[in-house]
Structure 1
C-alpha cells in the first residue's frame, strides 16, 4: 500500500496492482483525482473505493490493476467524517455548492434541542438519496435531472449511523464527527437535522478522516504523490535501485 510512510516507489508495479491512500483536495471531483493519477503513473485500470463530493476533502482509497477487484471490499468498510452543519437555511444540493434559500431564524434553537434532534439520526435509519447525486434513475444520473429542474421519487435506503458526535455548537454552526455505513449521505443528514429543528440546515464543510482502519493522516496529497513518483522515476533513470 502506498501512503505517507512509503519511501520508495521503485519496486511498485502499478499495472499489476497497488492500493494508494490519497487526501483529496477541496474543489476536486473524485474523478479528477483518478484522471490525475492515471496521468502520473500511466495505468489505464484505476478506480476509487467511494466518491467524495467536490466540496469535500479527505481520504480516497485508490486501486490500480488487479487491486481494483478489492474496491467493493473497501467500499463496505465504515467511514468517519468530520464537518460543519450550518443552521438557518437550505440549499438545493444540501451543501454549500448552491445558494442558500428559505432563510429561517435559528437563534432560538437550544443545545438541548440539537442533542435531542440528532438522536433521530443515530442507529439503523432510512435515508433518501438527494436529487443532486450520482444515483442512477431510468438510465440517467439524478443530478442530470435535477439540473433540468426535475424532481423524481427516490427509494429510501437503509443505512447505519454508528456515532453522531457533536464537537462544538457555535450557532449557526454545528461541528460534528459521524461514523457511518457505506451509502450514507452526510449532507442529507444535515438537511434532515435542520428539518427536525424547524430552521433548515445544510452541510457547509466535510472531511472524510477514515475508511475502516485506514486514516487520512497516512494519505498523500496528489502533489506529494506526484513528487515521490517523479523522484523515483528520476532515480531509476540514473540507474539507482
Structure 2
C-alpha cells in the first residue's frame, strides 16, 4: 500500500467515526489510518477513510462541500439537539404553517453565523467541549461563519420536517435544528441524519462496513 488508499464507507448507526477507523486499521494491520470528517454516532452515511500516504489528503477531503438528508422534529428539543439526550416538550405547534417553516429556512440559508453544539468534538482551551457538557459544564462557544448553499424542505408531516442540506465544512446540522426551532419559537431537534455526499464522492459508491472488512481481509488493498 505504498501510495495509500481511500475507502468510502457507509457508517453504521451508533458507531463513532473513530470506531470505523479502528476497525479498518485492525483489518489493514497498519497504524496510519484516519477519517476525513466526523459523523456523529446517531448519523449514518458517507465517511471517507484514508490509509497510508493518503492520510496526507485528509484536509483536502474535509474542505469539500457536504450534502445531507434527514429529519427535524419541532415542538420538542434535547440537550444535544439530537437523540443522544432525552427528548423534552417545548411548545404547542398547532399554529405553525408551511410558510412559517419556509421563512425560517430562508434565514438559515446562505452565509450564516452558527454556534456549535455543546455536545460536539470541537476543542476549547485544549479540551473537547463534549467532555465539559457530560459533566454539566456549559461553555461559551464562539459563533462561526458557515455557508448553507442549499436548505431544501423535502416533506412536512408535522412534527417532522424532512430536508436536504448542502453546506460547507464545519456546519453542524444539529445547530441548524436548534436555530430552526428558535426561529419558529417551538424548539426542534435532529431525529435522523444521512450524509449523502462529500465533494464528488457519493454514498451510493460506499461499502457497508462488514463487506469492506471482508474485502480488505481478502487482499483488496494489497496491490494498490
Q: TM-score, normalised by structure 2?
A: 0.96
2:135 is aligned to 148
Deviations 1:65-124 (A, max 9, x none): 111111100001000000000011111101011111243111221001000110010000
Say which SS state the counterpart of residue 95 (structure 1) adopts: coil
Q: 1:85 aligns with which of 60, 72, 77?
A: 72
Say which SS state the counterpart of residue 217 (structure 2) adopts: helix
Task: Give structure 2 stretches of 5+ with no counterpart.
Answer: none
Deviates more, 1:217-226 or 1:96-105: 96-105
* Structure exhibiting the larger radius of gyration computed from Cα positions: 1
Q: 2:205 aligns with which of 202, 218, 227?
A: 218
Deviations 1:187-240 (A, max 9, x none): 10011101100110000000000000100000001111012223347xx9xxxx
1:239 is aligned to none
1:180 is aligned to 167
C-alpha separation between the residues in 2 aligned to 1:229 and 1:153? 44
Deviations 1:29-76 (A, max 9, x none): 000000000111111001011000000000011111111111100001
Residues 1:169 and 2:161 aligned together: no
Q: 1:46 aligns with which of 33, 46, 49?
A: 33
Q: 1:28 aligns with which of 4, 9, 15?
A: 15
C-alpha separation between the residues in 1 aligned to 2:85 and 2:147? 27
Q: TM-score, normalised by structure 1?
A: 0.89
Task: Give structure 1 stretches of 5+ with no counterpart.
Answer: 1-12, 237-241
Say which SS state the counterpart of residue 77 (structure 2) adopts: coil
Q: Given that residues 16 and 64 in structure 1 are in contact (C-alpha distance below 8 angstroms), is that contact kept between their aligned partners in structure 2?
A: no
1:73 is aligned to 60
Please state how far the C-alpha of 1:137 moved relative to its aligned partner.
Answer: 1.2
C-alpha separation between the residues in 1 aligned to 2:200 and 2:123? 30
Aligned length: 221
Say which SS state the counterpart of residue 134 (structure 1) adopts: coil
2:104 is aligned to 117
C-alpha separation between the residues in 1 aligned to 2:176 and 2:133? 19
C-alpha separation between the residues in 1 aligned to 2:145 and 2:84? 26
